[in-house]
Amino acid sequence: MIAKLRGVGLVDDAGFSVHAGIISVLEAVALRDRLSGVSRSRAGARHLMKHPDAAAIAIDPRMLSLARDVLGATALPYRATLFDKSAASNWLVTWHQDTALPIRSRKDLEGWGPWSIKAGVNYAQAPAAALEQIVALRLHLDDSTVENGPLRVIADSHRKGVLTDADISSLAANESAVDCLVRIGGVIRMRPLIVHASSKATNGQPRRVLHIEYASSLLLVGNLELAIA
């Protein structure tokens, strides 16, 4: 069963919340236009904290307030990714958790890994203790509707720690999910361990989202330091 959530905030005990009108429509359209020229893959563009407009919105007080409500006054952004779903680039994201973190220098520690390199940045699959220091803000640069492949989440699933693929499949088959629908300028706040997915769009309406991740500190458990990406 898929429930539908339209612009209603949920307590963060659920692992996610929806916040309408964090920036204005005019601001969102202007930001969308300024990001339109970034080099991208089929699904969008990664490592945008070096882009001045992405970096500026990441530290906007309205965004910082949402992150700091969860992580505390020290929260700061470290990674920004543009997701761009459209008729020309229509993709399915299966149920998963976000467990890979960009790390400044590789250090082989128990509970971390496997490691990989993406666009010159070290990444490691992280343990739950590190991921609990993270929250993501998904700033919508278009309306997110039932028809254009919205984010779907399983509430409270972030409490279960890092899950295996089999555990995620079983959870998705047996638990109700929520479609997170939000207008342009709104934000979905989510924990990386919440199990989530998105379907293909069924119409030609684009769905562009700037996904910004925040940490309570760049220094994580094990003295590993997050990379700015």
Q: What average pLDDT does the segment 38-48 reach?
A: 81
With vertex at residue 143, the alpha carbon angle to CA 142 and CA 149, rounded to the nearest 5 degrees, is 95
Question: pLDDT digits over 61-82, tens only?
Answer: 999 999 999 999 999 999 999 9
Strand, helix or coil for residue 57: helix
For the record, the structure tokens of 105 come out as 């220098």
* CATH code reported for the domain at 2-215: 2.60.120.620
The yes-or-no verdict on residue 55 having pLDDT over 90 is yes
Question: pLDDT digits over 163-217, tens only?
Answer: 999 999 999 999 999 999 999 999 999 999 999 999 887 777 888 999 999 999 9
Residue type, 46: R
Which pLDDT belongs to residue 85? 74
Q: Which of 98, 178, 190, 70 is nearest to 139 (CA)?
A: 190
Query: Predicted confidence band at 12 (pLDDT cuts at 50, 70, 90)?
Result: low
| Domain boundaries, given as residue ranges, for the chain | 2-215
pTM, rounded to two decimals? 0.92
Q: Which of 113, 107, 213 is nearest to 162 (CA)?
A: 113
